[in-house]
Structure 1
């Protein structure tokens, strides 16, 4: 009854690198097929290898992140090409040191730390309001970048009011 529950789907915006990888692999595969048919059949082996690479790489250029927040437990799933789902991170908000907007003065100390591992699970658009969660994962301090909506941000604040700041 008093459970804090929120879920959100955030689509990562496609970058120039994603498009270059996707269309570059497709063009290379097509060139290898034509070269294998008209020049030497050995290039068909390269075409098969490139085709297999396309199967595994191209879905990773169309990514959405699903946030699931239940009573302080935060799960982040990566949905690739709307068909494959993979759990990428799980953490407890109560174990976090801080959660605040990336441009907040509260993040100044952590933004200067070059050794901190940064995990970006947001759309990648700097114009959107993105939050940083400072926590320990696998023994290392890391910054997890999220893009919650108002409902999710408020649920996070209600779960850990002394650690989550909405300014």
Structure 2
């Protein structure tokens, strides 16, 4: 029988990320409006008016693109000892972050501030920014070298991960 679990985790924005997003949105709208008004006032020179409208459209699109890209989710897919983590941006684009064989884990447990990363370690964060729910996994990776994954698995995902953990990690 196959062991399969899937989970979507929405990343919660921090206060600074929310205020940055709001500031970019407000400034982007203001710049777009100002460029549009300036272009309309320059109708005597059609080339300058057209350029102003193009810049206004660019500012509007840039603002829209930035605000959309702050909506991030992570998808954890567990299949027979293999954990795949994808980043989903704006519910449109998907980027594979990492694929791991659970049996290769060197360390696994609840993530705490006292859990220190080494200087040569690549840290992959795929969590919802709520510290009480975070777990970590240390493992060697072909592309990233020594890697630490910080993620928020639910109970079903944890059960499946625990089945495939190396024996030394299961007994803790």
TM range (shorter): 0.7 to 0.9
Structure 1, unpaired ranges of 5+ = none
Aligned to 1:134: 138
1:1-40 paired onto structure 2 within 5 Å: 1=1, 3-15=2-14, 16-21=16-21, 23-25=23-25, 26-27=28-29, 28-38=31-41
Aligned to 1:77: 86
Q: Greater shift after overlay, 24-33 or 57-66?
A: 24-33
Using the size of structure 1 for normalisation, the TM-score is: 0.78
Q: Mark the CA change 1:49 to 1:72 in structure 2 (over 3 Å): closer, same or farther.
A: same
1:120 counterpart = 2:125: yes
Q: Distance in 2 between matches of 1:89 and 1:33?
A: 44
* Alpha-carbon shift at residue 30 of structure 1 (Å): 3.7
Q: Mark the CA change 1:159 to 1:21 in structure 2 (over 3 Å): closer, same or farther.
A: same
Q: Greater shift after overlay, 17-26 or 88-97?
A: 17-26
Q: Mark the CA change 1:13 to 1:44 in structure 2 (over 3 Å): closer, same or farther.
A: same
| 2:75 paired residue among 42, 58, 66 | 66
Kept in 2, the 8 Å contact 1:118–1:143? The answer is yes
